[in-house]
Amino acid sequence: MEIDAAVPMQLGGLGTVDIVFFTVLLVYVFVGAVLFRVIDVPEDFYVMGQSAGGILIAGTLFASYMSASTMMGIAGIVYTDGAVMWLVIYGSWPGLVLGMLYIGRRFRANDELTMPDYIGDRYQSEFIRLVATLIMMVGLIGFGVIQLIGAGYLLADVVGVDYATIVILFAAALLIFTVAGGMYSVVVTDTLMGVTMMITGLVLAPIAIQTAGGLDALVTALPQENPGAWTAGGANMEMPFGWLLGQWVLWFFFMMVAPWIVTRSFPARDDFAVLSGTTIATMLGTIVITFLFLGVTVTYILNPGIEPADVVVIWMAQELAGPTIGGLAIAGVMAGILSTTSTIFIYAGFGLSRDLFERVGGNILDESQRLVAARIAQIIVVITVTGIALFEPLGIYWLGAWAGAIFAAAWAPMIIIGLEWEEANKYGALASMLGGFGSYVVLYQLHEIWGTYQIPFMLDPIIPAIIIAVTLMVVVSLVTETTQAEREFYRELDQTSLAASTLENHSPQSLRKYYNRTKYIAITILVLGVTVYGYLMAVIWYPLV
């Protein structure tokens, strides 16, 4: 069964996509304007005054994962290649959980406002903070530029507005949004937009599955239409196991230390909000993405010629659903774009104001000056990224493609070892960051670009890069001196299990109550997960085997 190419949905002469596009932008601007009135101190701007409950944490974490990459780029690869990207992307879930519960909670317990706060304090060095912040800024800005460029090209065709106008409109909305509300804006709008993302996965995707012939079509018709769709190497890429393993490792370590994941624990009002929010977001995101990917996979039966493949979800919304559901599903895709971009912008701005201007620069500011500096930093970041995106430089594509590897190779070993080993010091951290990133760049060039060196078993360059980073961290720390201040900070952090706010805000009876509630949420979601995935395995995986 094949359906003709998409024709934009119309509502009274105005395209549904156009209405959705401008409505989503206006929602972001409106929320930012409203929340501007509640931001009184820098801590409100940076961490929402640590007032977010479990639902808001779940909403913002879910939206962070249901990003533009997931709903467009990865969805397009799943549409053409099938299961291979499922195997890759699910490596990020244990990374996400560890990022929130292992790293994020420990940083939060130490009252950190940003990740470079921890890095500078752990290694007692403003120079290490500077290097870590610059690495973070490069990764965030490069990835942010890619989001704007991708959104501009994608939506210019769909909405019918030229590329430059799309980029400027996005940037203007994000400018008002991030400057006005800071972390409040991100958390609240992520949760609101998460509803439309759920519609995309849990309503639109089942419509596609039903149109193609139900779940049975995935077992019978799909292997005939797209041979190899259920193989680990992919229908078209035919990638070896070494590449698959490397990509899984990349996603795992990347998500574990990604600033927009780890710092999602910082706005939480207590540790219970972090635990329950992470639990809900993990299961909700996994189920939504599973059905979304099943939907785009089976869409290949309906139309194997969607070009570019990145618009597969938008094609599904335009061709397979009515105006209301289709419009809300497209809103989910646009929300993914805005959620990803706003989060990247907000943390790049935090890095510029908090970590560089205040901490590294040594500028002593009062609360009102800090708030102004934070907002000015957001303006600088948005204008810079927008200007770069308008010029569409090819080098930025190269930079954006390496964003995940930057964090996985340069940050993960240094952060994790620093949490677990008292002897880790600033010399080891510096060697690990520079060595991890540098080795990845060299190995990638030799392996992927020049083809002059073949990594054994076709492993991705990220694996040897991480091994090199870990080795440098350990060896250099052993042969150099660890200061008493570094040891004392490590011991204090190691002995802190709960954030002070959790202990201050709850009596022993209240702690017991919230503990039990969190436990019951986890048990309920576990039962739900076993039920859903048990059913899917019975009707899809078992017949394939």
Read off the pLDDT of residues 192-245 as tens digits, 9 standing for 90 and up: 888 888 989 999 999 999 999 998 998 899 999 998 888 877 888 777 777 778
Query: Does residue 216 form part of some domain?
Result: yes
User: Is the model's pLDDT at 28 over the cut of 80?
Assistant: no
Express each pLDDT in 30-41 by its tens digit: 776 777 677 766
Express each pLDDT in 74-96 by its tens digit: 888 899 988 777 766 777 888 88
Closest among 456, 480, 531 to 290, alpha carbons compared: 531
The total of other beta-carbon atoms located within 10 Å of residue 534's CB is 10
Q: Which residue has the higher pLDDT, 239 or 269?
A: 269
3-state secondary structure 458-513: HCCCHHHHHHHHHHHHHHHHHHCCCCHHHHHHHHHHHCCCCCHHHHHHCCHHHHHH
What is the rounded CA–CA span in Å between residue 411 and residue 261? 14
Could you tell me where the DSSP H helices lie in 263-420? 271-302, 312-320, 323-350, 367-391, 394-401, 403-405, 412-420
Q: Which residues contact 24 (CB under 8 A, 6 or more apart)?
A: 193, 331, 334, 335, 338
CB 184 within 8 A of CB 32: no
253-279 b/e (C-beta count within 10 Å ≥ 16 → b): bbbbbbbbbbbbbbbbbbbbbbbbbbb
Query: Does residue 247 form part of some domain?
Result: no
Query: Does residue 29 form part of some domain?
Result: yes
Express each pLDDT in 367-386 by its tens digit: 777 778 877 887 888 888 88
What is the rounded CA–CA span in Å between residue 14 and residue 21? 12
CB 240 within 8 A of CB 233: yes
CB 130 within 8 A of CB 288: no
| pLDDT the model gives residue 545 | 59
Question: Looking at residue 322, which CATH number applies to its domain?
Answer: 1.20.1730.10
Residues in the chain: 545
Burial status of residue 461 (CB atoms within 10 A of its CB: 0-12, 13-18, 19 or more)? buried
How high does pLDDT run on average in the chain?
A: 81
Compute CA 411 distance to the chain's CA centroid, rounded to the nearest angstrom: 16
Query: Does residue 460 form part of some domain?
Result: no
Torsion of CA 278, 280, 282, 287, to 10 degrees: -170
Phi-psi region of 181 (alpha: psi -120 to 50; beta: other; left: phi over 0): alpha
User: Is the model's pLDDT at 66 over the cut of 90?
Assistant: no
In which residue are the tokens 């999602």 written? Answer: 264
Express each pLDDT in 116-136 by its tens digit: 888 999 999 989 999 998 888
Percentage of residues in the chain having pLDDT higher than 90: 20
In the chain, the amino acid numbered 533 is Y
Q: Which residue has the higher pLDDT, 476 or 351?
A: 476
Query: Does residue 151 form part of some domain?
Result: yes
What is the rounded CA–CA span in Å between residue 345 and residue 443? 29
Q: What average pLDDT does this structure show over 344-366? A: 76
Query: Does residue 427 form part of some domain?
Result: no
Torsion of CA 365, 51, 110, 358, to 10 degrees: -20
User: Which two tokens mark 513?
Assistant: 């109550």
DSSP 3-state of 450: coil
| pLDDT the model gives residue 49 | 76
| pLDDT the model gives residue 335 | 78
In which residue are the tokens 């409203």 written? Answer: 34
Express each pLDDT in 127-174 by its tens digit: 999 999 888 888 787 777 777 777 777 677 667 778 888 888 888 877
**End-to-end Cα spacing for the chain:** 25
Structural domain range at position 73? 10-224+255-401
Query: Does residue 508 form part of some domain?
Result: no
Q: What average pLDDT does this structure show over 291-312? A: 91
| pLDDT the model gives residue 347 | 78
User: Is the model's pLDDT at 45 over the cut of 80?
Assistant: no
Highest mean pLDDT among 195-199, 340-344, 411-415: 411-415
| pLDDT the model gives residue 433 | 94
The total of other beta-carbon atoms located within 10 Å of residue 347's CB is 24
| pLDDT the model gives residue 40 | 66
In total, how many domains does the chain have?
1
Query: Does residue 297 form part of some domain?
Result: yes
CB 114 within 8 A of CB 350: yes
